[in-house]
C-alpha cells in the first residue's frame, strides 16, 4: 500500500510543478487559483511521501518520488508547455523510468 501512496505522491509532485508553470504564464485571479492548486498539491504530495516513508527506506522513497516527479514534469512540459522533445531528452526519460522500476524491484 505504501508504494501506492508513493506513486500518488509523485503524481501530486507533477501537479504542483505544473501549477507553478501555469502561475508563471498567468496573472491576477487566475494566477492566484493556480498558486492555490500548487499549495494543495504540495501539501498532499508531502503528506503521502511522509506516509510512504513510514515503511519504505527513505533513500528509495525519495528517489522514486523525485523520479516520478521529474519524468511527469518533463512529459507535462512536452505535451502542455511546448518544451522540446529531442532524442536525448526522451532517451534519458526512459533511462530514468528504468531506474525507478529497478529501485522498486530491489526494495524489500
- 61 with 6: CB under 8 angstroms? yes
Task: State the pTM of this model.
Answer: 0.86
Which of 79, 72, 101, 81 has its CA nearest to residue 12? Answer: 72
Angle between helices 28-52 and 2-25 (to 10 degrees): 160
Domain boundaries, the chain: 2-106
Give pLDDT tens digits for 26-82.
Answer: 999 999 999 999 999 999 999 999 999 999 999 999 999 999 999 999 999 999 888
**pLDDT for res 104:** 83
**pLDDT for res 12:** 98
Q: d(Cα 15, Cα 81) in Å, to the nearest integer?
A: 13
Amino acid at each position: 500500500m505504501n508504494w501506492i501512496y508513493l506513486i500518488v505522491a509523485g503524481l501530486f509532485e507533477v501537479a504542483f510543478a505544473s501549477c507553478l508553470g501555469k502561475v508563471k504564464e498567468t496573472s491576477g485571479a487566475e494566477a492566484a487559483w493556480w498558486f492555490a492548486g500548487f499549495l494543495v498539491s504540495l501539501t498532499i504530495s508531502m503528506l503521502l511521501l511522509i506516509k510512504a516513508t513510514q515503511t519504505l527506506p527513505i533513500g528509495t522513497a525519495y528517489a522514486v518520488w523525485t523520479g516520478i516527479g521529474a519524468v511527469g514534469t518533463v512529459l507535462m512540459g512536452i505535451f502542455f508547455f511546448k518544451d522540446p522533445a529531442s532524442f536525448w531528452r526522451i532517451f534519458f526519460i526512459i533511462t530514468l523510468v528504468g531506474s525507478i522500476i529497478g529501485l522498486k524491484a530491489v526494495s524489500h
